[in-house]
Structure 1
Amino acid sequence: MQLSKGFKYLSIVGFLRTVLCGMFIYITSSDHHDVHDIGMIGYIILTIPYYILNYKANKSSFKFKKIMHFMFFLTLIPLIYWYIQHAVKRRAGAYSIYAYFEWSLILQDVLNDHWYANDYKDIGLKCMVDH
């Protein structure tokens, strides 16, 4: 199967997004605050083209994807609010609430990937070796 140019871009964006996600999951803010924040912000920014390219690459289950993606971005509102409460206003307990929203983004992302797996089940990688 010949992959479309859009799918190649989707793969690149998806890979970079996964690396950035790993940065903010495995490097905690207490370990290295700036690296954690760069990973989180980059992950959220790359989510926009990732979702758009997924729409273009496979239009099946468009309505469900739209709802899932809306929920992802809706979660950013309380996430940002609680981050400000923690970082700027130094409100007690705000970081714990923020962390729930931060991890809910990961859970939503895993659910999205589960849904995409069904869309792309016919695509696989092959290793071409000369014998």
Structure 2
Amino acid sequence: MSEEELCESIESIKQQQAETRVRLDLANQHISTLFTQVQDLEVQFKTAIRNKKHSARYNLRQKLAVIMGLKIVYLNYCSVKTQELERINQKLYAMVGRNDEEAMDTDANEESNLANYS
């Protein structure tokens, strides 16, 4: 693989990494929003139980079920994106590490000069 192709490949992987991070951050924001909504609905549900409001309890229970389902979907999505980000990071590290090794290669003359200094 030529150096130009390697640079293009590294850039595309870095772009994938950035996009995945953005999506993961947005999903985490949605999860925190859903978490606060669940807390608010639970408080309202407990109030409805205390005041014996059966119709309100039913509606709140339905809302809680929907929001908890969304939260589970987002948690699964975050798990998948985290795994994807780890895979991208490993691929990028392998490519950048290999590129650094190629840049640090020495020829026989340099190695013999280095041995004289030891």
Q: TM-score, normalised by structure 1?
A: 0.39
User: Given the two structures, how large is their TM-score scaled by the length of structure 2?
Assistant: 0.42
Higher relative contact order (CA 8 A, sep 6+): 2
Larger Rg: 2
